[in-house]
Amino acid sequence: MGNPFDKANWSAENTSIFCEICLEEKRAGNHSNGFITNRGYVNISEKYYNSTHLKHSRKQLRNRWDQLKRLYQFWPYLHTILHTWEEIFEQVAVDGSSACIPGEIIGDGIDEVEDQEEDGKEYSPMSVSARKRASSTTTTATSPTKKNKESYGEGAERNTRELQGRKFR
């Protein structure tokens, strides 16, 4: 038989609902020293189901509680390091204008557009799909020819001749 519980879907909305319910349980006294009591978990499970129509086990709820608690404990460190980052990157504009994509033509793009207009041809970027290569009616560059594999004996012979020609101290 299948699992009676739904897969946890901790979207922003579901997390917000969970946090509101946890706060209600804390105020109701079903919370002690950072831990939710057994009765608190039963209430949270029922209220969460009524709000979201998602049935979660105590373990799923506890895992989310622990994740949120670690995030909360991380916040003071993050707040401290943010001030350092602000100072380090004070003069840096993070707006995506300096981002690059592998294979992208670097430049302001003006020269490329002017060159295209002069040629009278329109160029478009190649597809990033690896399924099918574009066919070409124009001549294309060819790869350099592969060197023939030499046998072990031929390679050893060539290396010996090269070493004999070198002068050593």
Q: Does 2 fall in a domain?
A: no
Residue 117's pLDDT is 54
Q: Phi and psi dihedrals of 99, rounded to 5?
A: -75, 150
Given a contact cutoff of 8 angstroms between Cβ atoms, the answer to whether 126 and 134 are in contact is yes
Q: Does 63 fall in a domain?
A: yes
Residue 18's pLDDT is 94
Q: Does 116 fall in a domain?
A: no
Q: By CB neighbour count within 10 A (0-12 exposed, 13-18 middle, 19+ buried), where does 11 fall? A: exposed
Q: Which amino acid is at 112?
A: E
Q: Does 114 fall in a domain?
A: no
The number of distinct structural domains making up the chain is 1
Q: Does 1 fall in a domain?
A: no
pTM exceeds 0.85: no
Given a contact cutoff of 8 angstroms between Cβ atoms, the answer to whether 22 and 43 are in contact is no
Q: Can you tell me the distance from the alpha carbon of 68 to that of 17, in angstroms, rounded to the nearest whole number?
A: 13
Q: Does 24 fall in a domain?
A: yes
Q: Does 124 fall in a domain?
A: no
Q: Does 20 fall in a domain?
A: yes
E strands in the chain: 31-32, 35-36
pLDDT digits (tens, 9 = 90+) for 50-60: 999 999 999 99
pLDDT digits (tens, 9 = 90+) for 44-92: 999 999 999 999 999 999 999 999 999 888 888 887 888 888 888 777 7
pLDDT at 169 over 50: no
